[in-house]
Structure 1
Amino acid sequence: MAEDLNIHDADPVEEFLPVYGMVLADPALYHLAVSVGETLDRGDRWAGAIRRQLTHAVAAHLLGTYTRLKPAPETVRGGLAPWQLRRAQDRIRADLAQAIDLRAVSESCGLSVSHFARAFRQSTGIAPHSWLTGERIARAKVMMRRKDRTLADIALACGFADQSHFTRAFAKNQGTTPGRWRRLMEPEARHATMP
């Protein structure tokens, strides 16, 4: 489903928002599950087709409701060609610790800096710098799952000026601080020590 929505820059499973200790009451998910259940006794091809479509609906609902992932915008007239967008994203992603060299990236796409910036925004819905920040946060989340580095080290490795800059950007993007997010990713360890 993530691929159908052109979400290629993140692992959808990693993006689910934690709901530890909360009771999940989701009427839409309940009704989709009931609909799938209604077809389980049927072995005909129609039932199989219905189950496949409902499975896609469940996946779309889960991604749209329980993650902050956004589908890539539809191709827009005036945006970057697919090869230009891939090339630009690859160039920006190649060294997340550095500031974007918009001139070099735009030249690799055969465009002026101003045309490139406008076309990038039309294609992705955000400015190149905002896209870079999102990529830095995605890399930081991968690094935070390991306990071998401090948040300050991760901030610098991902291109943030310091831990404070990282915390502000992370909180704006994820709705929580990096320290709290890191703690939420280890609920099993907390619950294992409880009597």
Structure 2
Amino acid sequence: MSAAPTVRGLRGLHGLHGLLAASLLLLAAGAGTARAAGCDAETGFSCGEGRCIDKKYVCDGNINCNSGVDERNCTSCAATAVFCEGRCAHRCDGIARCADGADEVGCPTRPVFECSPGVTVLSSKQCDGIQNCPEGEDEEGCSYPEDCRGNAVYCDGRCWPASTRCDRVVWCSDGADERDCPWWPKQTLPGKAKS
């Protein structure tokens, strides 16, 4: 039996047509509850959505199941994450998700881009298709592939369709496609109150 297509493999489908096509493909592949029930207990984790993910993605600080169940009730985290505020937060990605900044402590120094005097962002955020500076200076003078216009997400050297933004699946290694989404943890810096 061939493996059921994953949501990630259907990234070119958009809107209601995409949802309908994805549903039909998943049903045709037999990816209902039987697929979730058949999740390999040794290497797989059931998202409860009719799909499995590899166990290495559970409690790694990135939401891989649409419901976020892979990051809930974690008692320990993968080596790439730290436990804080009841969840695993990805370490050393330049975004302080823990109130005390523990997820960014002891990380290698990274080069920064100066937006304006006293305001910096990681250089890796420059020309990533997302305005990280207050006035968008990090995106000025950048050139993007023709298919990376509008709301598309540019990261990791390639362009992702706008449909990958805020879909609760982390496509970019730094989480840029999910940052600033309503459900994404807001950045708090050490010593600063949460808003």
Higher strand share: 2
Higher Cα Rg: structure 1 or 2? Answer: 1
TM-score by length of 1: 0.24
More relative contact order, 1 or 2 (CA 8 Å, 6+ apart): 1
TM-score by length of 2: 0.24
